[in-house]
Chain A
Amino acid sequence: MEVNRAPCTTRSFGHGFAEVDACVHCGLCTQSCPTYLLTGRESMSPRGRLWTMRALGEGRLQATEAVLADLDACLVCRACESACPSSVRYGAVIAAVRAGTRRRSFVRRTLFALLPRRGLLQTFASCLRLWQRSPLRPLRALLPPGLRRMEAALPEVPSAAARAALPRFTAARGERLGATALLEGCVMSVLFQDVNRDTVTLLAAAGFDVHVPPAQTCCGALHEHDGDLNGAHALLQRNAIAFESVPEAVLVMNSSGCGTAFRDAERSIGAPGATLTRRSVDVTRFLLEHGERLAFRPHQGVVTLDAPCHLHHAQGETTAPLALLARVPGLALVPMKDAELCCGSAGVYNLDHPELAEATLAGKLDHLAATGATTLLTGNPGCILQWRAGVRARGLAVEVLHPVTFLARLLHT
């Protein structure tokens, strides 16, 4: 048995890495980690990954293919942060290490470069829609496996009309209570513009003006998870400036991934990000606290709720979605086992690690089936896509919706 006499020379991974020292190796995080639960391997647990990253920093471990593979297999769901008695900001550590180690493919970089460019992104979406509806689509069998998987995982792109930009301003209905601003998002604006429109409807009905500042851009969360910290931070800077155009508006977030990026903005980019951190709030929390005016019709059928990791663990918003849904008269809301465990979507994780993502979702689908629900609600675009794919594959009669969509449908007008 050797007593630790590791060298003190620490290779710095930059911003956020020092947080690694707060881990005491107690292991209380391990049962919260989807990849550890599946594999039982220490290198696939939060504690093991922190140990690995610390050793990389200390220079006593080489960043080999195998070591990086297990670090890359992390979902960054941050459930370990909820479990951690020391409140280690695991997400910050792994983002810093990924920035220093992650090799990003050309396809990946190209795709991510599209996200903040609205015009190009919409053109890409139109092409994709054309391809998805084209008689040539069977040719996808000829694509290389990686691209083929990506192609298959992409959901049906809505029509250009359904993807139309939101009005820059929507006035409150009735007496005006205040101002809000909305981030249209990248994935949200292409695949879930309906959720954005429903959000506007609910906010206006609750008595709030809704601004959609034109200078806004992608939040950068996906870039950060991918290790492109500079890219992510530049996008936060742009958004901080964009939302300064409506200084008194509350930033209502309807994608928990984007919400987390904004909530963490001050930590990420310092003082300029403070405006995003301070002013942003999840849509469920905002409507819970300011939506007294909203009245809903009853809903037939059993509903269950899945907690997006970045809402539940990263933002610590564990109560608002449930409390808001309780406003629907007599709603049959059945809790789902392990609802706070990741569904395997995790940004674009399901594209990189299809097997782990599928295995993670498989357990969740069992729990969903056990609830007997016909509607599953979850407030993050990636999670909605992942659940819809799983529900379809399993043949379950469950509609997967954003809570905002669900509530907008029941809104008394």
Chain B
Amino acid sequence: MLPAHAPEFFTTLRTLLGPERCITDQGLLLPWECDGLSHLRQLPIAVLLPETRAEVVEIVRLAAEHGIPLTARGAGTCLSGGATAAQGGALIAFTRMKRILEIDPVNRTARVEPGLVNVRLSEALKPLGLAYMPDPSSQTASTLGGNVAENSGGPHCIKHGNTTMSVLALEVVLADGSVIELGHARGRTEGPDLRGLFVGSEGTLGIVTSITFRLERIPPAELTLLASFADMRSACNGVSSVIAHGILPSAFEAIDDRTIAALEHAGKKSGYPSNAAAVLLLEFDGAAESVRAEADAATALLRAAGALRIEEAEDAAQRARLWKGRKGAYGAMGRLAPDLYVMDTVVPRSRLPEVLPAIGRICDELGLPLANVFHAGEGNLHPNISFDGRNPDQVRRVLEAGRRIVEVCLKAGGALSGEHGIGTEKREFMPLAFGPETIELLHGLKAVFDPGRLLNPDKVLPEPVTCGEMRPAVLRGRSA
């Protein structure tokens, strides 16, 4: 059964893609109604699964012709609703476009299709002694196309940078179906950096069909430390102290006691001490001597900050176990309640000791269980709130907590998102972080690339009506 409106759109696509790759059955569409942010849902009118760039172009062209909004989606692990369909819109899912097109070990670049899962690239590079550094906690599932759309971070991005630092070039299908190349595999571009503009634009400006990444050599040595503390404040002070002394770990993570309890509860042997109120997970990479020196210096500083115990991972297996706990922490919270809201905000590192208790108070007041696991070195917080999405009152309280947490973080000089993006989750907060002029400019930018507002609309930017002072020229540009 095809949706009633724009029947031509569907019949043409069904012929092009076949019924397996053009999903319109209501029951089969249901599991596509949200991404990792499961309390905000929108059933797509169709899901399209292209296998080639030509098919993507055809889908975009047809969507433009029939006025169907399109949302690009990788694995759907996004935590801000970026990969959820727009009202009346279709999803274009890249799960079948997952080839590695080229690896150039000499120039250390790789060109891939957007549906390739992050960890699959690392697996392919490993025998060559090469690595793709950005490692979002979702890396075993999330796609590189999605990582580019969200400019994803990860534990090791404190040293190696978010996704954008590794993106050399993008092939993009624009809203009218034309294909452009942004950036260059050799890393040099003339004029403004349009590649940088697209990374993190959450699929609102165009649809990426291939990505060229910069690769790194696998670091010759790695060393992992686990430091436990009697309270989170000392742990946070330890973080600031290490960084203030000019030491840059390749990862610097904090995990609180509730997260450790959740891991235990889910039956995961994380190796984190169950009696600590907070633990820090640090990693150093580089030449063996410098790694040792940095780790020793950090150990002394953390002790001075009040660390109860500092352990060093003895081998690769123990290191992997420590990381598995960190990367599975959010999933493990599923044992606490049926649903989970993973927030993403940033505060200056120095403000962590006061912001964390403030967030705790908000959740206490609203009667919501909170657990914190976050990229401490970057001040990138992830308050995790457990709730039951079937209870409307709990959902209301969760949304309220989200708003108040954002306000606290912004007031402390922070930012809306460190790595999960804005999506639908935080678009209403954009005016809290940006002045009307900036938002107006962003609307204008969107209009330049997507005048028909068909590419992932209703994301990132707040509804234009809420920005009362919008200039007519910009409005004209958008509706052209």
Contacts and interface: CB of A to CB of B under 8 A. Distances in A.
Specify which of B35, B75, B87 lies most central, judged by the most chain A CB atoms within 10 Å of its CB. Answer: B75
Contacts of B84: 1
Given A2-B42, A41-B28, 12 more contacts: A1-B458, A22-B335, A25-B34, A26-B334, A27-B36, A31-B117, A41-B23, A45-B31, A52-B30, A58-B390, A86-B332, A86-B334
A41 B76 contact: no
Interface residues of B, number: 58
Given A1-B40, A51-B31, A70-B28, A26 B390 contact: no
A48 interface: yes
Given A25-B36, A26-B330, A5 B392 contact: yes
Nearest to A18: B338
A238 B380 CA distance: 56
Contacts of A51: 30-31
Given A24-B340, A41-B49, A88-B334, A3 B395 contact: yes
B138 A26 contact: yes
Interface string A64-81: 101100100000000000
A26 B342 CA distance: 10
The 4 closest A-B pairs by CB, nearest first: A85-B331, A40-B95, A85-B328, A86-B334
Contact of A24 (B32, B76, B331): B331
B395 A42 contact: no
B409 to A, nearest CB: 22
A87 B335 contact: yes
Interface in B371-430: 389-392, 395, 399, 424
Nearest to B396: A3
A101 interface: no
Contacts of B117: 31
Contact of B334 (A4, A23, A52): A23
A349 B334 CA distance: 30
A66 B19 CA distance: 12
A28 B76 contact: no
A84 B39 contact: no
Nearest to A58: B390
Contacts of A7: 390
Contacts of A84: 331
Given A1-B424, A8-B391, A86 B49 contact: no
Interface in B115-130: 115, 117, 119
B239 interface: no
B96 A40 contact: yes
A6 B115 CA distance: 31
Nearest to A27: B77
A340 to B, nearest CB: 13
A1 B41 contact: yes
Contact of A43 (B28, B140, B340, B399): B28
A28 B141 contact: yes
Given A26-B331, A61-B30, A87 B20 contact: no
Contacts of A23: 334
Contact of A39 (B20, B32, B42, B119): B20
A66 B49 CA distance: 18
B27 A62 contact: yes
- Classify chain A's interface size: 35 or more
Nearest to A40: B95
A55 interface: yes
B38 interface: yes
Given A30-B141, A87-B266, A24 B30 contact: no
Contacts of A85: 266, 268, 327-332, 334
B231 interface: no
Contacts of B222: none
Contacts of A31: 117, 119, 140-141
Contacts of A88: 334
Interface of A: 1-8, 21-31, 36, 39-43, 45, 47-49, 51-52, 55, 58, 61-62, 64, 66-67, 70, 83-88
A198 B95 CA distance: 45
B263 to A, nearest CB: 8
A1 B75 contact: no
A85 B326 CA distance: 10
Interface in B292-350: 327-335, 337-340
Nearest to B25: A66
22 contacts: A3-B39, A4-B389, A6-B389, A8-B391, A24-B330, A24-B331, A26-B138, A26-B330, A28-B138, A28-B140, A42-B76, A43-B27, A47-B31, A49-B31, A51-B30, A52-B30, A66-B27, A67-B30, A83-B140, A86-B331, A86-B333, A87-B268
Nearest to B43: A2
Contacts of A43: 23, 27-28, 30-31
B141 A27 contact: yes
Specify which of B27, B75, B337, B424 lies most central, judged by the most chain A CB atoms within 10 Å of its CB. Answer: B27
Given A47-B31, A52-B31, A66-B25, A4 B41 contact: yes
Contacts of A1: 40-42, 81, 84, 87, 424, 458
A185 B116 CA distance: 42
B299 to A, nearest CB: 29
B267 interface: yes
Specify which of A4, A66, A86 lies most central, judged by the most chain B CB atoms within 10 Å of its CB. Answer: A86
B93 interface: yes
A4 B39 contact: yes
Given A4-B41, A27-B141, A39-B20, A61 B36 contact: no
Nearest to A26: B331
A8 B390 contact: yes
Interface in B1-52: 20, 23, 25, 27-28, 30-32, 34-36, 38-42, 47, 49
A139 B332 CA distance: 56
A24 B40 contact: no
